[in-house]
Amino acid sequence: MKNETLELDRKLLPRSVAVIMDGNGRWARRRGFLRIRGHRKGVDAVRTTVTECARLGLEALFLYAFSSENWSRPRQEVDFLMKTLGDFLVAERATLMDNNVRLTHCGRIEALPQEIRRTLHETESMTADNGGLTLCLALSYGGRQELVDAARELARAALRGEVDVDAIDEAMFASRLYRPELPDPDLLIRTAGQMRISNFLLWQISYSEFYVTDTCWPDFDVSELHRAFRAYAQRDRRFGRISHEEAEEYESRSADETEPSRR
């Protein structure tokens, strides 16, 4: 573990990371346990990931904790997930404070039980002055819902005469998203091998690098996180452009082809 830590070049680390924490149920079923056992074990992976991202100096970490679609799961599982969330928000306060982590959220949290909302706000308030990593829990979250909510807010502002419709651009729209102050994820990690984004941060991951591992979330540890970061460090992020070398070659060849031939 220590050797893997030393191998990481912090200059090549992502500034912001998002994680789709998938595979709790599969991890449990493979071991003959109920799904809730996987959710309980997944809390350890959350603690490990948050602590290591804070240690490495990342700016933001988005965790897909509970989607808007998760409400359709069996009532017993939803109740257990809510209890696990509430317990986490209390039990991990010392860890957040010790690692200078600020907690925040995104999503339609009005759907959460009142006691969970109260505990969430208390933990957010307690960590508000921490200046290290920002941990954003996506709770009752849906990417399409976020876009609809942003559009509604802009429409209301336009009706009030506060916004010129013709002046709406990407920056103005982004400012109406749930957490516009946080940087878009440079890297999206998904565990358990599924090749989909599951309605997560649809706007923010437009230019994110994707990393998918077959490892289920309860088994995701520091070595797995470092493996994702090393893979990210090898990527050539172009944002729709071509590389510097290709640009130079293109310009050189273009000049040669447009230069009048000499006979």
Whether residue 70 lies in the annotated active site: yes
H, E, C per residue of the chain: CHHHHHHCCHHHCCCEEEEECCCHHHHHHHCCCCHHHHHHHHHHHHHHHHHHHHHHCCCEEEEEEEEHHHHHCCHHHHHHHHHHHHHHHHHCHHHHHHCCCEEEEECCHHHCCHHHHHHHHHHHHHHCCCCCCEEEEEEEECHHHHHHHHHHHHHHHHHCCCCCHHHCCHHHHHCCCCCCCCCCCCEEEECCCCCCCCCCCCCCCCCCEEEECCCCHHHCCHHHHHHHHHHHHCCCCCCCCCCHHHHHHHHHHHHHHHCCCCC
- Catalytic position from the list 70, 149, 199, 221: 70
Q: Is 24 a catalytic residue?
A: no
Of 22, 99, 184, 186, catalytic: 22
By annotation, the residues acting in catalysis are 22, 70
